[in-house]
Amino acid sequence: MSELLIDTITKSYKKYKALDQITLQISPGMFGLLGPNGAGKTTLMRILTTIVEPTAGTITFGDVTWKQPEAVRQLIGYLPQKFSLYKHITVTEVLTHIATMKGMTRRKEQAVADVLEKVNLQDHRHKKIKELSGGMVRRVGIAQAILHSPKIIVVDEPTAGLDPQERIRFRKLLRQLGKEATVIVSTHIVEDIESICDTLAVLKKGHVIFNGSLQTLTEMAANDVWEMEASKEAFFDAIDELDIISSKYENHRYRYRVVSTNPLPGAKHVTPNLEEAYMYLMGQAQR
Amino acid sequence: MRRIYQSLKVEWLLVKRRPWTWLVLLLFISATSFHFFLRFKEGSVGGALTSSAFLVQGGLFVSLGFGYYSVNLEKASSAEELFGTLPYGKQAKILGKLSLLILLALFAVCCAALLYVLLTVMFHEPFFYFSHVLEYFLLYWFLPFCITGIIGMIVGLVTSSRGAYLGLLLLGILMGPLNMALFETLSLWLSRDLYPVAHFFNVGQTDPNTPFDPVYGYPLEIKRYLQKGILLLLVLWLLFAMILKQQRSFYKVFGIGSVLFGLSSTVLISLYRHDDQVIYTALEQNSVKKYDSRYYEKHSQATWPTTKNVQVTSYDLNVTAYRGLAVSMKLGLRATAPSNEVVFTLYHDLHVTSVKTVTGQALSFQQSGDQLHIHHSLKKHEQATLLISYAGTSSPYFFANEQAVMLPSYFAWLPSIGEGVAMKWVENSVRPYPIHAQQPIHYKVRYSGPLPLYTSLKKQQETVWEGTTTDGLTLVAGMMKERVTQSARIVYPSTLSKTLTHAEDYVKKVKRMSSEIRKVLKLPTKAAITDVYFLSIADESPHYASNIRFTRGTMFVGVNELSLYVDQAMIPAVTLAVIRNEQVIKQPPEMTDLFILSYDYWYEQAHPAIKQEEKPLLLRNLDLYQDDPEQAVLMKRYKTLLAFMKHHDNRELQSFFRAWAQSLRSEKAMNDQDVQALMNREDGAN
């Protein structure tokens, strides 16, 4: 299966550079795109989905180049963040409509039935969109994205607004898609990436500040994540001084984890999780 | 195509499932049914459509709103980005929406047309002009709904802010019949005639108060199609440019499209700018009511003296009525005395392009006002043939274009030896002089224009008519029919088939009354009326019915869709028709009007059998204006005349009116003293 090659992509809006010479090589499987607001994730997604044209640089996937947007659109399945579609038509009607719009002519009904089964919405196929829960609408969203078995699936903030149960179910669904396609998940929720992605890129202010596996990222922060314990008063005093990533209140004391390049008195090294590694990376990038 | 069709299907599903859709449809059908029903009930079948401006205006607002709503549907449902990532997704969606807009507009028009058909059947109205009805629906309902719907879509593609609603409201006003009110105010404010601008942007009816003209029919001139064509082309191009913008090859396609758009719009605009006859009924300078009135207010005098020693003997004409009037002719002349020039009367907007002798020698000519001056020497009794060509727009009162022709013989549409001025301005209206010759003239007409054509000449071939007549040449074509009765051949508007069932009775009454009046006034007996034309000719006086005109053997009756043929109203109309000659028209109008009203009063008193639906006009005017200081002089005249009439018997009054009519028909302009002198004479005689 081909790789998605993003080569020195730049996108400028007048003097402002939303993306500055981004280069990424994305292999089939689950790929995460992580970054704070304004990092350029959305711009990159919009370029990948051909909604926006880059100012410079090239993108290719096998023989297909992004200079041929109509060809690219045949390759791509896209689930936008605020997906809801028309509220007054049924799930089957929506999917059949999108299937036709994607140029599917044969076995359209079968394809719709298959994706409904994949996203576990067979029992809701005659319901109107307005009658579905938020999680179900997201599943309809992913169903429409995979209708034509695209080679690249782009998913924007997939779990935003979902309850924990739906979120877990949706992550599982995405995971399954990664078996057969390149799935790019753009999010600012680190947990999503940690749960489903194999590799990721971290963007900040239009630049790639990390590109690699999750393990590599966590290893980068291996020596700089600490765990400490303090009384309630001491903990609140420390909040302003330290980069506290998480905390737990147990037996009238706080146990908390901190990212710091300097050893801290009374602190012990712990193995960092992705969120801590991401915070470490952001801190490093700031310096 | 499949994508567009699928998109259309989904758009339809969405629209269908919205309660608003059915509510709007219900409102539309109810309002249309109610409006049509009322109009049919009062007998105004044609007016049912021409007075539908408010329905069209409502439809324009709905179309604008629908167009805007439809393109914003994806924004509202956050699906816009998604469709942007599908192959030709946005384009297919927009084209699907456009298709739905067209289908909905068609559906609305079909509903309205069906209602019209149902009412036509219900009220036993004739069906034969239904193609015009459909054309009207196309031009004033369907195309406007499509154009404004597309504009709504464009607005929706440009912005989805709340300000857009205000923009849509303003656009709805600018592009509909409501803009007439807006531009009327602006025209007054800026002292400029902005109606042409209003007409261009108004895709609905140009005059919401347009009465239906039963001869002219619906205003379906080519120019109106061209106007809509230009606007449709423009909005389609804007819409497609916005769709194309989504594509990478935008600039290339945009360039080619712009060239095509530029070429086609240039063709349409040049055709639109072509000088042609469009009948406007609102208050603009070139409207029916204003155009001639304004002209003859300023042009009351002839430039050259009338030719008296030359007679026209024949006209061999090629007449084309298409976007205006074009005539080429061989005109036969005979000189009764030596002459170096021939002066014809010809309506000023008919521009002569060439005058030649039969040998092809070009003759010098000049046109000034309603006169055509040709330098050509003729010896006594010499006969000559001139080849004359001219073209242009006829008077808005007497139209000739691709849609209808109404050229009565007394109007100067043919070069005739006559007054030198075609009409006289009287109180913001005009009175046409009787222009046609009184002697027999041979006519041959080859005609190209709307059919069927009605004329007093005999039809020789499909498009050729020929004959000799002393009545001048009348051409009438359009939505007309004829009925040959025992007393005369009656030509009348097809739309009035039902209301004119008593036409024969009416003609008989007019003949009887005119003969009676002639007898009383001792005017020469008239030749038998053989042709009667019921036409949409205007009343010549705002004060009384003046819708009847005679030539030697022809009678013209002015009608409109709601004409009521009340005997009482017939008296002033027939009286004026009987006494009218060019001198009567030249008389101060107040003198003629005073005669007509006085005679009307006396006639009603002398004929108690006439059903009096109202008081005689003279008494009605007296009731109305007796306290008006501005009308004091007029009221004094009325009172003096009433007192005089009360103190004289019928024989004396007949003598008085006879003398008065003769004075009016003489060259000397009458005044109050002359009327008083006539009264004194009658008093003295007794």
Per the structure block, which two tokens stand in for A164?
Answer: 């924990």
User: Is a pLDDT exceeding 80 seen at residue B566?
Assistant: no
Contact B461, B447 (CB under 8 A): no
What does the pLDDT read at residue B78?
Answer: 66
| Relative orientation angle of helices A91-101 and A134-146, to the nearest 10 degrees | 30
User: Is a pLDDT exceeding 90 seen at residue B474?
Assistant: yes
Write the single-letter amino acid at B462.
Answer: E
Residue B44's pLDDT band (cuts 50, 70, 90)? confident
Q: Do residue B10 and residue A86 have CB atoms under 8 angstroms apart?
A: yes
The alpha carbon of residue A229 and the mean position of all alpha carbons in its chain are separated, in whole angstroms, by 33
What does the pLDDT read at residue B614?
Answer: 78
B452 preceded by cis ω (within 30°)?
yes
Q: What is the pTM of this model?
A: 0.84
Query: Which residues of A make CB contacts under 8 Å with B?
Result: 46, 49-51, 53, 67, 69-70, 73-74, 76, 78, 80, 82-89, 93, 96-98, 100-103, 105, 144
User: Is a pLDDT exceeding 60 seen at residue B270?
Assistant: yes
Give the integer Cα–Cα distance in Å for A208 and A185: 15
Q: Do residue B82 and residue A85 have CB atoms under 8 angstroms apart?
A: yes
| Relative orientation angle of helices B672-685 and B650-664, to the nearest 10 degrees | 150
Per the structure block, which two tokens stand in for A139?
Answer: 């599943």
Mean pLDDT of A160-170: 81
> CA-CA distances (angstroms) from residue B355 to B241, B341, B366, B378, B441?
52, 13, 10, 15, 20
Q: Do residue B86 and residue A101 have CB atoms under 8 angstroms apart?
A: yes
Nearest by CB to B3, from A67, A93, A101: name it.
Answer: A101
pLDDT in tens, B415-446: 998 778 999 988 778 889 887 777 889 999 99
Q: Do residue B10 and residue A84 have CB atoms under 8 angstroms apart?
A: no
Domain layout of chain A by residue ranges: 4-213, 223-270
Which chain B residues are closer than 8 Å to A89 by Cβ? 10, 13-14, 17
Mean pLDDT of B148-163: 91
What does the pLDDT read at residue B140?
Answer: 94
> CA-CA distances (angstroms) from residue B267 to A32, B227, B263, B278, B494?
57, 12, 6, 19, 36
Nearest CA distance, B169 vs chain A (angstrom): 27
How many H-runs (helices) and E-runs (strands) does chain A carry?
10, 14
What does the pLDDT read at residue A233?
Answer: 82
For chain B, what percent of residues have pLDDT higher than 70?
96
Closest CA to B132 of B219, B237, B236: B219
What does the pLDDT read at residue B200?
Answer: 87
Q: Do residue B78 and residue A84 have CB atoms under 8 angstroms apart?
A: yes
pLDDT in tens, B157-177: 888 888 899 999 999 999 998
Mean pLDDT of B296-309: 86
Per the structure block, which two tokens stand in for A126?
Answer: 């005659």
> CA-CA distances (angstroms) from residue A229 to A236, A265, A270?
12, 11, 13
Which chain A residues are closer than 8 Å to B79 by Cβ? 80, 83-86
Give the integer Cα–Cα distance in Å for B50 and B25: 21
Which chain B residues are closer than 8 Å to A161 by Cβ? none
Nearest CA distance, A230 vs chain B (angstrom): 47
Give the integer Cα–Cα distance in Å for B446 and B467: 12
The residues, ordered by sequence, that sit 6+ positions from B664 with a Cβ below 8 Å of its Cβ are B579, B583, B584, B587, B591, B592, B595, B670
For every residue of B343-410, DSSP letters joined together read EEE--TTEEEEEEEETT--B--EEEETTEEEEEEEE-TT-EEEEEEEEEE---TTS-BSSS-EEE-TT
Q: Do residue B81 and residue A51 have CB atoms under 8 angstroms apart?
A: yes
Nearest CA distance, B243 vs chain A (angstrom): 14
Give the integer Cα–Cα distance in Å for B652 and B649: 5
Q: How many CB pairs under 8 A join A and B?
A: 80
User: Is a pLDDT exceeding 70 seen at residue B564?
Assistant: no
Strands B531-535 and B554-558: parallel
For residue A70, the SS3 value is helix
Closest CA to B340 of B301, B379, B367: B379
Closest CA to B448 of B457, B439, B461, B436: B461
In chain A, which residue's Cα lies nearest the Cα of B84?
A51
Q: How many CB atoms lie within 10 A of CB B304?
A: 15
Which chain A residues are closer than 8 Å to B82 by Cβ? 78, 80, 83, 85, 98, 144
- CA end-to-end span of chain A, whole Å? 39
> CA-CA distances (angstroms) from residue B285 to A89, B122, B193, B432?
54, 41, 7, 19
Nearest CA distance, A69 vs chain B (angstrom): 8
Give the integer Cα–Cα distance in Å for A93 and A91: 5
The residues, ordered by sequence, that sit 6+ positions from A107 with a Cβ below 8 Å of its Cβ are none
Contact B152, B68 (CB under 8 A): yes
Mutation site for B-interface testing, chosen from A100, A132, A146, A154 by largest number of B Cβ within 10 Å:
A100
Nearest CA distance, A53 vs chain B (angstrom): 8
pLDDT in tens, B93-119: 888 899 999 999 999 999 999 999 999
What does the pLDDT read at residue A158?
Answer: 81
Q: Most confidently modeled of A30-34, A131-135, A163-167? A: A30-34
Contact A145, A77 (CB under 8 A): yes
Average pLDDT, chain B: 88
Q: Do residue A101 and residue B92 have CB atoms under 8 angstroms apart?
A: yes
Mean pLDDT of B186-199: 85
Mutation site for B-interface testing, chosen from A48, A82, A86, A89 by largest number of B Cβ within 10 Å:
A86
Nearest by CB to A87, from B2, B7, B77: name it.
Answer: B77
Residue B212's pLDDT band (cuts 50, 70, 90)? confident
Torsional class of B420: left (φ above 0), alpha (ψ -120 to 50), beta (otherwise): left
User: Is a pLDDT exceeding 60 seen at residue B232?
Assistant: yes
Residue B411's pLDDT band (cuts 50, 70, 90)? very high
pLDDT in tens, A54-113: 999 999 998 999 988 888 988 899 988 878 778 888 999 989 888 888 888 777 888 899
What does the pLDDT read at residue B685?
Answer: 62
Q: Do residue B82 and residue A51 have CB atoms under 8 angstroms apart?
A: no
Which chain A residues are closer than 8 Å to B249 by Cβ? none
Nearest by CB to B87, from A86, A96, A102: name it.
Answer: A102
In chain B, which residue's Cα lies nearest the Cα of A50?
B85
Mean pLDDT of B634-659: 89
pLDDT in tens, B45-77: 888 888 888 899 999 999 999 999 988 888 776
Q: Do residue A74 and residue B79 have CB atoms under 8 angstroms apart?
A: no
Q: Do residue B88 and residue A50 have CB atoms under 8 angstroms apart?
A: no
Closest CA to B154 of B168, B140, B141, B143: B168
Q: Do residue B86 and residue A102 have CB atoms under 8 angstroms apart?
A: yes
CATH H superfamily, domain A4-213? P-loop containing nucleotide triphosphate hydrolases (3.40.50.300)
Contact B414, B285 (CB under 8 A): no
For every residue of B255-302, DSSP letters joined together read HHHHHHHHHHHHHHHHHHHS-------SSSTTSTTTHHHHHHHH--S-
Which chain A residues are closer than 8 Å to B17 by Cβ? 88-89
User: Is a pLDDT exceeding 80 seen at residue A35?
Assistant: yes
Contact B239, B95 (CB under 8 A): no
Q: Most confidently modeled of A250-259, B185-194, B341-350, B643-652? A: B341-350
pLDDT in tens, B76-87: 766 888 888 887
Mean pLDDT of B290-305: 89
Mean pLDDT of B468-492: 90
**What ipTM does the predicted assembly reach?**
0.80
Closest CA to B481 of B467, B469, B468, B495: B495
Which chain B residues are closer than 8 Å to A86 by Cβ? 10, 14, 73, 77, 79
Nearest CA distance, B55 vs chain A (angstrom): 30
Closest CA to B167 of B182, B179, B178, B151: B151
Query: Which residues of B make CB contacts under 8 Å with A?
Result: 2-3, 6-7, 9-10, 13-14, 17-18, 73, 77-79, 81-89, 92-93, 247-248
Contact B146, B97 (CB under 8 A): no
Nearest CA distance, B83 vs chain A (angstrom): 8
Q: Do residue B83 and residue A93 have CB atoms under 8 angstroms apart?
A: no
User: Is a pLDDT exceeding 80 seen at residue B473?
Assistant: yes
Per the structure block, which two tokens stand in for B431?
Answer: 């009175």
Residue B31's pLDDT band (cuts 50, 70, 90)? very high
Mean pLDDT of B632-654: 88
User: Is a pLDDT exceeding 70 seen at residue A117?
Assistant: yes
Q: Do residue B77 and residue A74 have CB atoms under 8 angstroms apart?
A: no
